[in-house]
Amino acid sequence: MTQRKGPLAGVRILEIGHFIAAPFAARVLADLGADILKIEPPGGDPVRTWGAAVDGHSVWWSQHGRNKRSICLNLKAPEGVAIVKRLVADCDALVENLRPGQLAKLGLGDDVLRAVRPDLVIAHVSGYGMSGPARDRAAFGVIGEAVGGLRYLTDHPPGKSDLPPVRTGVSIGDSIAGLYAALGIVSALLGRTRGNDGLTLDVALADAVLSLMEGMLPEYGRLGTVRRPTGSTIPTAAPSNAYPTKEGRWILIGGNSNNLFAKLCALIGRPELAQDPRFLDNRLRVQNMDELDEIIAGWTRRHTAGEALARLEEADIPSSSVYSVEDCVADPQFRYRGMVRDVDDPLIGPTLHAGIVPEVVEAPGEVAWTGPAVGAHTDEVLAAAGIDAAERERLRAAGVIG
């Protein structure tokens, strides 16, 4: 095993994850240097069948599975379960997203795991959580996003469109839950150095989404206000919107501080608006948002996106076009920071990955390797756990390992 780089080098975490949430938690920990042992069933994580493939190898997997070691184990076989226990003995943490209680049914309940490794940190990720009346309900990212209140708001204002509220285009409920799980694991490991035992984390997709809904709960609780979808605007800040350009594209402008607003008024040739009683501060601008947005759109419609953005940038006003992946890849900032980076994947060939977040200046993480084939590290990891070649041959023939 290569020595990993990053602040989590030396931390070892077992992943019994599938699809997105737990694997994403493990990916961000792996990006920061943790040694992730990912247990995959024969055939592999089913996420490998999502999206485009090259020679039967998932392209997304190149990034989603990177920096991890893949161990192929049949957890329905008692010997497979026994191997997990051997591996757990050398792990600091475990992250999983089977249905609540399923790991215990396999013979790997928290008590069993802690009998092997008393200070093990255990993170359970699920749709609704490990407790409560909905605990046993199935959920995906889409459901967590809806139940957490995000999906309702990802829409145009009521009456403006007959179409349903949209997804964000990615399973963001899974990613957010994954980030919370990663944060919880590292926090529990830090707590362990300060005297805690191994802690148990219970991360629900729906909870994770609800936790970042800003003033939605306090405003309903205190004032009875139901936050409604507001399309491309921000209900608490103005001007901030998507504005149409001469060629019919959209650009985003955020001019919602008094200072930025004054610069924007000057730029569009209407400096007097900064003193207009309708627009004197953010609260007034929010009240008179439609009028203000129409004035700004009057300016953007007279310019191409390129012209308008060049002038906005010159005036130091937050602005951008709506980037597709082509724009992300062409962006010199992303390239400069290694956030769009070339990688050579032995399974699918040369491709692009996102870089490592956060950038750790003195101990940067790295893409040490791309998403491995199912079981690529089974032999290496099992040998290190004291299971010799003859035994591995027997286990492989019996369908316990792959």
Which of 236, 280, 299, 394 touches a second copy by CB under 8 A? 236
Can residue 139 be called a binding residue for a second copy (CB under 8 A)?
Answer: yes
Number of residues lying near a second copy (CB under 8 A): 168
Which of 56, 221, 269, 277 touches a second copy by CB under 8 A? 221
174 is catalytic: yes
Q: Which of residues 101-130 bind a second copy (CB under 8 A)?
A: 123, 127-129
**Segment near a second copy (CB under 8 A), from 6-14, 101-109, 300-308, 383-391?**
6-14
Tokens of 140: 């995906």
Can residue 261 be called a binding residue for a second copy (CB under 8 A)?
Answer: no
Compute the least distance from the CB of residue 235 to a second copy, in Å.
7
Can residue 68 be called a binding residue for a second copy (CB under 8 A)?
Answer: no
> Rounded to the nearest 5 degrees, what angle is found at the Cα of 37, between the Cα atoms of 11 and 55?
135
Place of tokens 């051997």: 86
Q: Which residues fall within 8 angstroms of residue 79, CB to CB, at 6 or more apart?
A: 395, 398, 400
> Prior bond to 239 cis, omega within 30?
yes
- C-alpha 7/C-alpha 321 separation (Å) is 35
Q: Which of residues 338-397 bind a second copy (CB under 8 A)?
A: 339-340, 342, 345, 348-363
Catalytic position from the list 45, 174, 293, 345? 174
Which of 15, 96, 207, 293 touches a second copy by CB under 8 A? 207
Phi, psi of 94 (to 5 degrees): -135, 135
**Segment near a second copy (CB under 8 A), from 59-67, 270-278, 300-308, 374-382?**
59-67
Can residue 252 be called a binding residue for a second copy (CB under 8 A)?
Answer: yes
Compute the least distance from the CB of residue 83 to a second copy, in Å.
26
Can residue 329 be called a binding residue for a second copy (CB under 8 A)?
Answer: yes
Beta strands at 93-96 and 12-16: parallel, antiparallel or unpaired:
parallel
- DSSP letters along 305-356, please? HHHHHHHHHHTT--EEE---HHHHHH-HHHHHTTSEEEEEETTTEEEEEE--
Beta strands at 53-54 and 200-204: parallel, antiparallel or unpaired:
unpaired
Can residue 337 be called a binding residue for a second copy (CB under 8 A)?
Answer: yes
Which of 104, 106, 237, 262 touches a second copy by CB under 8 A? 237
Which of 56, 118, 290, 333 touches a second copy by CB under 8 A? 333
Place of tokens 């490998």: 48
Compute the least distance from the CB of residue 114 to a second copy, in Å.
11
CB of 260 closer than 8 Å to CB of 309: no
Q: What stretch of H or E contains 262? A: helix 258-267
Compute the least distance from the CB of residue 131 to a second copy, in Å.
6
| Residues noted as catalytic | 174
